[in-house]
């Protein structure tokens, strides 16, 4: 079976599917999406316009504010020939008590796809259960799979591949950590997570990632020592210490994470050519110092741009 046939099979497998977490994908499907994002980025940079979603409409439901998710999806669907409709959860009947299941059925009659960015992951699962069009998880408190698609593209651009790379994540065991664990394990990377005690990622996510890594040649490490995690790392990644909805915990979290700042001293433990990553928005002076995030080894804005191309690949695969 030639590569074209194999790629066509993967394309057919993805068509019409939901994308709620990276665990919804096989490793083959994940690589296909990153390859497609890479191809779309190349075409975009060359000024080539393709519109595989002409006449299609994406509903974008937001219960959390957004910069990168909204703009990348809205711009992406436009560039693909379709239309994006911004839906504020407070403006819909959801804000007055209409059920998610009823909303899913109604929206399915109007739209070709739904992207939702919200708090509880169960809301996305309920939406997908009752919708008859593809549902994309733009972010929940549990995971952030769209971001990691862009991250994997960025790592491959910067490092030439994934296998054998060590990714050190420093900070909270949050939705980003969960998706990075899955993405790193599926692509054969070593991922070393350093969190304060009590802020570890969910055990079931860690266990699933470790099982996947045992097949792909990757490795999952958990520690409370950021220096151990960063030692000889190829990629150093962090995120804010208090995510949306955790603002009341900010003072307590600042104390707990005091030794987990990515600064020049910590970063020097990584490999000399290590890159720095952050999903943004960033709080300079808290989880990372300005000289690191704005330094020559930072790829955070390359990451942010790659959200557009990853989103376009995802929409094309699911809605095309």
Rounded Cα–Cα distance for residues 29 and 10 (Å) = 6
225: annotated binding-site residue? no
* Residue 280 marked in a binding site: yes
- Nearest-angstrom CA–CA distance, 104 and 134: 11
The single residue of 121, 239, 309, 311 carrying the catalytic annotation is 239
Residue among 59, 44, 178 nearest 111 (CA)? 59
How is residue 42 written in tokens? 């190349």
> Which 8-state DSSP code applies to residue 96?
G
Would you say 143 is a known binding-site residue? no
261 assigned ligand-binding residue: no
Q: Which of 117, 178, 253, 278 is catalytic?
A: 117
Does 117 carry a binding-site annotation?
Answer: yes
Rg, Å, the chain Cα set: 19
Residue 229 makes CB contacts below 8 A (sequence gap 6+) with 168, 169, 170, 192, 193, 194, 221, 223
Burial class (CB in 10 A: 0-12, 13-18, 19+), 250: middle
| Annotated catalytic residue 117 | yes
Residues written for the chain: 320
Q: Annotated catalytic residue: which of 278, 307, 309, 311?
A: 307
Answer yes or no: is 244 a known binding residue: yes
| 66 labeled part of a ligand binding site | yes
Question: Is residue 279 part of an annotated ligand binding site?
Answer: yes
Q: For this structure, is 239 an active site residue?
A: yes
Catalytic residue among 56, 121, 130, 144: 144
Q: Is 132 flagged in the annotation as binding?
A: no
296 is in an annotated binding site: no
Q: Is 67 annotated among the ligand-binding residues?
A: yes
| Selected catalytic residue, list 79, 112, 141, 147 | 147
**Cα angle, residue 143 at apex, residues 267 and 244 outer, rounded to 5°:** 80
Q: Is 204 a catalytic residue?
A: no
* Active site (annotated) includes residue 219: no
Q: Would you say 111 is a known binding-site residue? A: no
Q: What is the largest CA-CA distance in the chain?
A: 58
Active-site residue identified among 18, 278, 279, 309? 279
Q: Which residue has the tokens 């959801």?
A: 94
Does residue 147 have a known ligand-binding role?
Answer: yes
Q: Identify any residues that bridge with 191 across adjacent strands, giving them in sequence order.
A: 167, 220
Does the annotation place 93 within a ligand binding site? yes
Please report, for residues 83, 105, 112, 122, the alpha-carbon distance to residue 108 in angstroms, rounded to integers and kept in the order given.
15, 5, 7, 19
Does the annotation count 278 as an active-site position? no
**Among 288, 282, 242, 280, which residue's Cα sits nearest to residue 261?**
288
Name the strand (E) or helix (H) holding 244: none
Is 56 an active-site residue?
no
Q: Is 253 annotated as a binding residue?
A: no
175 is in an annotated binding site: yes
Determine whether the annotation assigns residue 307 to a binding site: yes
Catalytic residues: 117, 144, 147, 239, 279, 307
Q: Which residues are annotated as a binding site?
A: 66-69, 93, 117, 144-147, 175, 239, 243-244, 279-280, 307
Q: Which residues are annotated as a binding site for L-ornithine?
A: 175, 239, 243-244
Q: Which residues are annotated as a binding site for carbamoyl phosphate?
A: 66-69, 93, 117, 144-147, 279-280, 307
């Amino acid at each position: 079976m030639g590569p074209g046939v194999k790629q066509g099979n993967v394309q057919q497998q993805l068509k019409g599917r939901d994308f709620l977490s990276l665990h919804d994908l096989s490793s083959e499907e994940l690589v296909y999406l990153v390859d497609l994002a890479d191809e779309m980025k190349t075409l975009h940079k060359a000024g080539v316009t393709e519109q595989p979603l002409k006449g299609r409409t994406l509903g974008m439901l937001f219960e959390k504010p957004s910069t990168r998710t909204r703009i990348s999806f809205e711009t992406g669907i436009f560039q693909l020939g379709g239309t994006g409709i911004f839906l504020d959860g407070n403006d819909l009947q959801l804000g007055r008590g209409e059920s998610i299941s009823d909303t899913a059925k109604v929206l399915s009659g109007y739209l070709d796809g739904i992207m939702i960015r919200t708090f509880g992951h169960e809301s996305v699962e309920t939406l997908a259960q009752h919708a008859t069009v593809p549902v994309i998880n733009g972010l929940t408190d549990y995971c952030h799979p769209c971001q990691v698609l862009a991250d994997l593209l960025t790592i491959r651009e910067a490092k030439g591949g994934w296998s054998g790379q060590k990714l050190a994540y420093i900070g909270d065991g949050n939705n980003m950590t969960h998706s990075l664990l899955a993405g790193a394990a599926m692509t054969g990377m070593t991922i070393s997570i350093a969190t304060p005690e009590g802020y570890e990622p969910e055990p079931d996510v860690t266990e699933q990632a470790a099982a996947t890594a045992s097949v792909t040649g990757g490795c999952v490490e958990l520690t409370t020592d950021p220096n151990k995690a960063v030692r000889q790392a190829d990629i150093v990644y962090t995120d804010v210490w208090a995510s949306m909805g955790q603002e009341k915990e900010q003072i307590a979290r600042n104390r707990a994470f005091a030794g987990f700042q990515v600064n020049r001293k910590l970063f020097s433990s990584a490999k000399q050519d290590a890159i720095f990553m952050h999903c943004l928005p960033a709080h300079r002076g808290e989880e990372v110092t300005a000289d690191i995030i704005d330094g020559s080894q930072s790829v955070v804005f390359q990451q942010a741009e790659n959200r557009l191309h990853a989103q376009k690949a995802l929409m094309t695969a699911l809605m095309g």
